[in-house]
Amino acid sequence: MEIDILKDFSFTPVEKSKIDTFDFENVQFGAKFTDHMLVCEYKNNAWQQAEIKPYAPIQLDPSARVFHYGQAIFEGMKAYKDVNDEIWLFRPEENFNRFNKSAVRLAMPEIDETIFLDGLKALINIEKEWVRKGLGNSLYIRPFMIATESGVIASPSNEFLFCILLSPAKSYYAGKIKVQIAEYFSRAANGGIGAAKAAGNYSAQFYPTKLAQEAGFNQIIWTDSTHTKLEESGTMNVFFRINDTIYTAPTSDRILDGVTRKSLIDLAKKEGYNIEVRPVLVDEIVEAAENGTLKEIFGAGTAAVINQIEAFSYKDKMYELPNMDNEGSYALDLKDKLTKIQNKLADDSFGWTVKI
């Protein structure tokens, strides 16, 4: 197997690909991975040569600091194959920049653009047969970095491992969901790491989300520390439509600067929708639900692009949203337009798509 690969990378191919045994029609999101992965170590204050090698377990010392002090960050991206069998990334520079912002916040080294972006392109070129064309098909991309230095001293690691994994994905649709507005638990705090894509942010959500699910809800809409402002929905940014205006909270120390979020904001403006980025109060959403002006709530993120919310609970009272699917749903329209841009089925006037 000969690959024309950049001099910056070494390549060790698998002995036999597992692609012929992979069931592309029944894909569980993020559960199975392609033949190869990219790995690169940080030692002696420098990134070493990146290597593309067979997907395999990583061996770490039990005292590796990722296990004890949680220095771990990641990103979520997708690649798409168009009708001409060409492969495209969606705004990869945004993920690269956010990854490094997360690294700085967790006292980790910033990754080189050559390793992250060029390495990703080289890896996908090797795994190009794993990217299936057709609306709804994609290749999910998971770059991550962990602290690997041994020793349980409570200080930042001096050694790290950067990896990129690839996982075939189908269109992610879990149906409309019901959510609970947080009244006690918080996702993040002012001055904290809420704006970083840190592993700890997600583990901290698991327990309150478990409680919400036991109560019959799918997710939580997180609020600020005063529980008066609405911020995120589960692991997604969240949008609210009152009458003909869409609202979403501004980014902050507590809110992740989502790539899908900012893309939807720009797309909504281009399509002529009224959209405002400002703090969204719990009271105004409850009032809008009560007087019938609340039309839609939807989450936005890489996996689902948009996930519609059909009802929410606050102070033990359930509020049902109207079904706008056949009455001009802004959420469905924006999702359709964005996914067509990502799949090269519509003109990309923003210049968001990057060819591999």
The phi and psi torsions of 257 (rounded to 5 degrees) equal -80, 80
Name all domains of the chain by residue range, CATH numbers in brackets.
9-169 (3.30.470.10), 177-342 (3.20.10.10)
Q: 296-326, pLDDT tens digit by residue?
A: 999 999 988 999 999 999 999 999 999 999 8
State the DSSP string of 198-226.
BHHHHHHHHHHHHHHHHTT-SEEEEE-TT
> How far is the C-alpha of 122 from the C-alpha of 29, rounded, in Å?
23
pTM of full prediction above 0.85: yes
Question: In this predicted structure, what is the pLDDT of residue 2?
Answer: 42
Residues 6+ apart with CB under 8 A from 193: 105, 106, 200, 201
Beta strand 280-281 with 274-277: parallel, antiparallel or unpaired?
unpaired
Q: 256-298, pLDDT tens digit by residue?
A: 899 999 999 999 999 999 999 999 999 999 999 999 999 999 9
Q: 119-178, pLDDT tens digit by residue?
A: 999 999 999 999 999 988 999 999 999 999 999 999 999 999 999 999 999 877 668 999
